Structure 1
């Protein structure tokens, strides 16, 4: 049995980010499928648990026995900002069926990511090849996309190119099913009740 165990689902964005990172870095692990919202998504080694992608990065980098996980200097800040601003939008909009909620905030953040990509030496946040930040952001953006109006071709050109390139990566094709109503419904059943309750608009 692998020392590392990922308890997750192919439909869950946090799980998907962890799966992509572990596979891309060739870090040995065992995958245990989470099937109900009573089971917590986490990366675990003995009693040490990482429940978010950021926690997983810190956990992997702190364990000298694991393959090194490269990250750019500002990766943690970007992922933290994303978790604070975009993940709540995702829960409020996509999972509660209210896609208009928070769209302005989403597009502001899209511009922020476009500016970051503009400073990259390649089409990915990691440069010429995807890296930690790409794996952390893509599963969320891929799921939000179908709920939003089509972006003008001249807007966020680099981000649109990034989404297309990420969607075609063999690793992404292998690990991530395309998002549609059915896959979102499956994911909704895995989200803890208190998380949904927190973001469901009050009538």
Structure 2
């Protein structure tokens, strides 16, 4: 995990940090560590990055639901001690963080970013100008999994990982499976490859089957037991967006009624959980954000 303290960007495009604090990375197995990206001597891990409703799970100050772009000013903080999430409303990686914040009933404020027309000040928070980024006082944590793990360490109630170390390692190892599904999903949604629904099914099935069989073996409602855990929240953004496949292909993947029964039931149950339901957008709005990304729609996330 990286915490960045008062990042300064020099105009010669060289990035410098006044301090970098490396926290415990034992949350990840070495076999699934992401490949590091280096900005001079500063390491930023390359996990994928990219309106809240006030509810009983978290108190959210609506600093800027409008997506701020170039030429805007960063809104002043209402409270230096309050968590601030730099976000894009439809980003699945931000979605993970929002779910964890809600699950832990944390007070935070949100600043949404136009990722096509990024504000200049964003690069003072993240050297690549990405979201999510979580600001705590004068420190900034980047990358969705690092943020989620930081929140689970600093705010341990409710715990989102199993207490058993072996089971925890097993959950973390499944992040790699989710990552592979994400890669396949992006290939489909961005139309990087032209395949039939059956061909796409054949690509998705091995990793979907791993998740289905794992949950079946556990015999619980969620991967986290009878309440969602970290694995559920890390997986959910892709489950919520699964309907995008139908939008792109014009039809569902040809699944038999007895295929992936457990994970399909999990998806329905998760959608009804209050932590998830309170910020549910669905596949249609997500796909509009994809169309913005590829230039098929004007870069106005607020119009979605």
TM bucket normalised to smaller: 0.7 to 0.9
Which residue of structure 2 aligns with residue 96 of structure 1?
191
DSSP 3-state at the match of 1:48: strand
Q: Give unmatched runs, 5+ long, in structure 1.
A: 192-203
Alignment RMSD, CA only?
A: 2.4
Would you say 1:122 and 2:220 are equivalent positions? yes
Based on CA coordinates, which of the two structures has the bigger radius of gyration?
A: 2
Query: Is the CA contact (8 Å cut-off) linking 1:4 and 1:43 kept in structure 2?
Result: no
Q: Deviation at 1:129?
A: 1.4
Q: Give unmatched runs, 5+ long, in structure 2.
A: 1-78, 119-128, 163-167, 246-251, 295-304
Residue-by-residue CA offset, 1:24-80 (whole Å, 9 max, x unaligned) = 11122221112223352123223332222x2123322443xx344431312221113
Return the TM-score normalized by structure 1.
0.79
Q: Deviation at 1:155?
A: 0.6
DSSP 3-state at the match of 2:160: coil
Cα distance in 1, alignment partners of residues 186 and 178 from structure 2? 13
Q: How many residues align?
A: 186
Higher strand share: 2
DSSP 3-state at the match of 2:149: helix
Q: 2:114 pairs with 35, 40, 56, which one?
A: 35
Which residue of structure 2 aligns with residue 15 of structure 1?
94
Higher helix share: 1
**Any runs of at least 4 consecutive aligned residues in structure 1 with deviations exceeding 6 A, and if so which?**
none
Change beyond 3 A, Cα 1:188–1:135: farther
Change beyond 3 A, Cα 1:150–1:139: farther
Cα distance in 1, alignment partners of residues 237 and 161 from structure 2? 18
Return the TM-score normalized by structure 2.
0.55
Which residue of structure 1 aligns with residue 150 of structure 2?
59
